Amino acid sequence: MKSKTIKVDYLARVEGEGSLYVKIKDKSVVDVKFKIFEPPRFFEAFLRGRNFSEAPDITARICGICPIAYQMSAVHAMEDAFDVTVDGQLRALRRLIYCGEWIESHALHVYMLHAPDFLGYADAIRMAKDHPAIVQRGLQLKKTGNDIVALLGGREIHPINVRVGGFYKVPAKRDLAPLAERLKWARDAALETVRWTATLNFPDFEQDYEFVALHHPDEYPFNEGRLVSNKGLDISVRDYDDSFTEEHVQHSNALHSVIKGRGAFFVGPLARYNLNFNRLSLLAQEAARSAGLSPVCYNPFQSIIVRSVEILYACNEALRIIDQYEKPDSPSVQVQPRTGTGYGCTEAPRGILYHRYSMDDTGVILDAQIVPPTSQNQKTIENDLWQFIPKHLDLPQEMLTLQCEQAIRNYDPCISCATHFLKLRVDRE
Amino acid sequence: MAVKKKPKLAVWKFASCDGCQLSLLDCEDELLAVADKVAIAYFLEASRAVEKGPYDISLVEGSITTQHDAERIQKIRKISKVLITIGACATAGGIQSLRNFKDIKEFVSIVYASPEYIETLAKSTSIASHVPVDFELQGCPINKRQLLEVLSAFLYGRKPNTPAYSVCIECKRRGTVCVMVAQGIPCLGPVTHAGCNAICPAYNRGCYSCYGPMETPNTASLSSWFGRLGVKEENLVRSFRSFYGSAEPFRKESETHE
């Protein structure tokens, strides 16, 4: 009887602290643990007693990579609770700042976290020695995304300008002109990125996933839409808790999000793309097709191409918004707190991010629930490893370990996010 | 002639959002130049290549919230010639130190279904309350320009230029009209450490002190000004008790309004 284990104590090139443990016995996988040991920070607890207006600033601190996602889910949940609608140019500016976050976060993942796996480097800095132009393009794309967030939000990380009801200050049309110039370059660079990622080698690996994403009648989704899946889910964001739950799995240290009665599901760029292909800009659709992607993609390793397609879409969309922008009369709409519960779900770069808050009549938060994308993907990530490893057992240990890490990085997991909600179990033996 | 070895840089993470270490990767124009001057020997967010210590400079992000981490920081101190904390979590316990004002058992049971499995300390504490720290860079998040300044300063053996005066000075420099004087917007700028370049007032918003207390802040005076602007006691408590709520001057001030 031959047994071996794959252990990665600290996963690299993911956001936060996680580890991987795989046990193989007689050519079959007997245990897979994608563990999250990042210490809990108790956001849902200390949000109680805070004012509703503080939620966007406080929840942004859950994640330094996708603070806009937290701010957007928080403001939409609050506006749902107080029956406030933010539309017109203010709504467009929210899409614009989200475009910035997608570009920044996706470029970071495509070039600095994921591509080194495909090309055999430990990191992008080492990759830059052999491929300087490619790494420079990635850094400048990332910077363009950050420029949008910094201009609209005040700074790249934990922006300060988003509030319930809109913004503190909105830009003049001329303020956006320099962004448009950079974005035109970025659009070309994004197209190059799609072409380049399409040339990478992808393991042959497709699974029968249930993809879940927002779906909007007219737009590729950022802030609004119904929650849909390729297996029949079609619900309002308000009904999230009726359809999703968390279950305890014996082999794992964490509870996993599942769709009630069905099991694991898949959120993020691949899910958005598969469920919203015809909402992409024509340029993005064409780029995807030319890259050999069909409108539905079941291979998570190809998510690097899909992220690139989404960067291209975000550049297109940002340029469209800037082109049609007229400065609104007021930077925000009036918000009057009242007793009630509000629900928000937006498309973080890594997938749907759900917030629910209950407030009293003065707007003090009584209860908060936050479900980030990585928690929702966690069960699917483990399922992938269960399926992937048996097919590659003949690989040398180092290579197999690397490919397991790559399979996890397909999901761009954000463990910092995950921990703040994950019902973490520490087994002491 | 012997080639001088590059100084080794390590980046460590404790309880945090990853934002401060991301600031290094956000130096898109400077990152490759930095990597030219220092060997990035341990930086898991960016690389799976790990070089053994000791390290010339360790950047530490995050606060101490578990027994395991309390032990880990001791080991990191031992293998670091210079230890620099980056951000509010590492220098003051961060937003998660709001637990320090509450009963942690209640907190655990609010968030987790099986509280008995959660391993956590009652308080979230700064790195300096566990080991000697050579320099503390403030901010939630830190400013990447200041990060580059601090790295350069330590590489060349000089004192970092990160003034501890208030955000007010930065508003004056930037030419921002005082939002509190002109518009009556409550602003924590007068007691807050500079470094962000006074972003909030420039966006027509009061400072909410994500850079923590300046040196010798007059918090009592600012509180009475807030009172005159109509800020209620419970909101004063919230104002001082946020991203730097456990920093001594802010903790004391929030407690006087409870």
Domain boundaries, chain B: 8-155, 167-256
For residue B136, the cross-strand partners are B85
pTM (predicted TM-score): 0.95
Radius of gyration of chain B (CA): 20
Mean pLDDT across the stretch B31-36? 93
Q: Which residues of B touch A58 (CB under 8 A)?
A: 95, 242
Q: Cα distance from A423 to chain B (closest Cα, Å)?
A: 5
CB distance A65–B18 less than 8 Å?
Answer: yes
- pLDDT at residue A8 in the model: 81
Q: Cα distance from A10 to chain B (closest Cα, Å)?
A: 8
Q: Which residues of B touch A16 (CB under 8 A)?
A: 13, 18
- pLDDT at residue B155 in the model: 94
Looking at the predicted structure, is the pLDDT value of residue B121 above 90? Answer: no
Choose among B66, B113, B235: nearest Cβ to A39.
B66
Beta strands A226-229 and A234-235, pairing class = antiparallel
Cβ–Cβ under 8 Å, residues A228 and A212: yes
The secondary structure of residue B79, as a DSSP letter, is T
**pLDDT over 70, % of chain A:** 94
Fold of the domain spanning B8-155 = Rossmann fold (3.40.50)
Q: Does A50 touch chain B (CB under 8 A)?
A: yes
Choose among B18, B40, B66: nearest Cβ to A64.
B18
Q: Could you identify the residue written with the tokens 């913004």?
A: A167
Instruction: Quote the CA–CA distance of B255 and B84 in Å, as a whole number.
Output: 30
CB distance B199–A155 less than 8 Å?
Answer: yes
Mean pLDDT value across chain B: 94
Q: Cα distance from A425 to chain B (closest Cα, Å)?
A: 5
CB distance A46–B111 less than 8 Å?
Answer: no
Q: Cα distance from B209 to chain A (closest Cα, Å)?
A: 11
Looking at the predicted structure, is the pLDDT value of residue A429 above 90? Answer: no
Choose among B17, B107, B202: nearest Cβ to A61.
B17
Q: Which residues of A touch B119 (CB under 8 A)?
A: 426
CB distance A13–B47 less than 8 Å?
Answer: yes
Name the phi and psi angles at B14, rounded to 5: -120, -150
- pLDDT at residue A178 in the model: 96
Q: Does A4 touch chain B (CB under 8 A)?
A: no
Q: Does A15 touch chain B (CB under 8 A)?
A: yes
Q: Does A127 touch chain B (CB under 8 A)?
A: no
Q: Which residues of B touch A157 (CB under 8 A)?
A: 19, 22-23, 26, 141
Q: Does A128 touch chain B (CB under 8 A)?
A: yes
Q: What is the CATH number of the domain that holds A277?
A: 1.10.645.10
Residue in chain A closest to B68 (alpha carbons) equals A39
Choose among B21, B44, B114: nearest Cβ to A10.
B44
A11 occurs within a structural domain: no
Instruction: Quote the CA–CA distance of A418 and A407 in Å, as a whole number.
Output: 18
Query: CA A236, A238, A239: angle at the middle one, nearest 5?
Result: 75
For A21-78, the pLDDT digits (tens) are 888 888 888 888 887 777 778 898 889 999 999 999 999 999 999 999 999 999 999 9
Q: Could you identify the residue written with the tokens 């793309």?
A: A273
Interface predicted TM-score (ipTM): 0.95
- pLDDT at residue B194 in the model: 98
Q: Does A12 touch chain B (CB under 8 A)?
A: yes
For A130-157, the pLDDT digits (tens) are 999 999 999 999 999 999 999 999 999 9
A184 occurs within a structural domain: yes
CB-based burial label for B46 (10 Å; 0-12, 13-18, 19+): buried
**What single-letter amino acid sits at B21?**
Q
**pLDDT over 70, % of chain B:** 96
Cβ–Cβ under 8 Å, residues A73 and A345: yes
Residue A374, domain extent: 43-395
Mean pLDDT across the stretch B52-75? 96
- pLDDT at residue A13 in the model: 77
CB distance B205–A168 less than 8 Å?
Answer: yes
- pLDDT at residue A398 in the model: 86
A389 occurs within a structural domain: yes
Q: Which residues of A touch B239 (CB under 8 A)?
A: none
A63 occurs within a structural domain: yes
- Could you give the dihedral angle defined by the CA atoms of residues B25, B28, B30 and B35, in that order, rounded to the nearest 10 degrees? 50
Q: Which of A217-231, A320-334, A363-377 has the lowest mean pLDDT?
A: A363-377
pLDDT category, A248, cuts 50, 70, 90? low
Beta strands B8-13 and B55-61, pairing class = parallel
Q: Does A169 touch chain B (CB under 8 A)?
A: yes
**What single-letter amino acid sits at A284?**
A
Instruction: Quote the CA–CA distance of A227 and B16 in Å, as a whole number.
Output: 30
**What single-letter amino acid sits at A302?**
Q
For B106-120, the pLDDT digits (tens) are 777 776 666 665 678
Instruction: Quote the CA–CA distance of A70 and A67 in Å, as a whole number.
Output: 5
| B-proximal residues of A, 242-261, CB under 8 Å | 255
Name the phi and psi angles at A278, rounded to 5: -80, 5
A259 occurs within a structural domain: yes
For A94-135, the pLDDT digits (tens) are 999 999 999 999 999 999 999 999 999 999 999 999 999 999
Q: How many domains, chain A?
A: 1
| B-proximal residues of A, 305-334, CB under 8 Å | 331
Choose among A54, A57, A424: nearest Cβ to B117.
A424
Instruction: Quote the CA–CA distance of A43 and A73 in Å, as a whole number.
Output: 15
Residue to test with chain B: of A113, A157, A245, A330, most B Cβ within 10 A = A157
Higher per-residue confidence, B257 vs B3: B257
Q: Which of A301, A36, A397, A14 is nearest to B48 (CA)?
A: A14
Instruction: Quote the CA–CA distance of A287 and A270 in Å, as a whole number.
Output: 15
A244 occurs within a structural domain: yes
A22 occurs within a structural domain: no
A410 occurs within a structural domain: no
Q: Cα distance from B74 to chain A (closest Cα, Å)?
A: 17
Q: Which of A341, A353, A332 is nearest to A60 (CA)?
A: A353
Looking at the predicted structure, is the pLDDT value of residue A355 above 80? Answer: yes
CB distance B29–A139 less than 8 Å?
Answer: yes
**Half-sphere exposure of residue A267, counting CA atoms within 13 Å on the CB side?**
32
Residue to test with chain A: of B43, B105, B111, B119, most A Cβ within 10 A = B111
How many interchain CB pairs under 8 A, A with B?
Answer: 181
pLDDT category, A82, cuts 50, 70, 90? very high
Instruction: Quote the CA–CA distance of B119 and B126 in Å, as a whole number.
Output: 18
CB distance B102–A39 less than 8 Å?
Answer: no
- pLDDT at residue B116 in the model: 60
Residue in chain A closest to B98 (alpha carbons) equals A46
For B135-193, the pLDDT digits (tens) are 999 999 999 999 999 999 999 999 999 999 999 999 999 999 999 999 999 999 999 99
- pLDDT at residue A378 in the model: 87
Preceding amide of B141 cis, omega within 30: yes
pLDDT category, A420, cuts 50, 70, 90? very low
**What single-letter amino acid sits at B217?**
P
Q: Could you identify the residue written with the tokens 């220098």?
A: B91
Q: Which of A42-46, A64-68, B39-43, B88-92 has the lowest mean pLDDT?
A: A42-46
Residue to test with chain B: of A13, A17, A42, A97, most B Cβ within 10 A = A42
Q: Cα distance from A48 to chain B (closest Cα, Å)?
A: 10
Count of beta carbons in the 10 Å neighbourhood of residue B134? 14
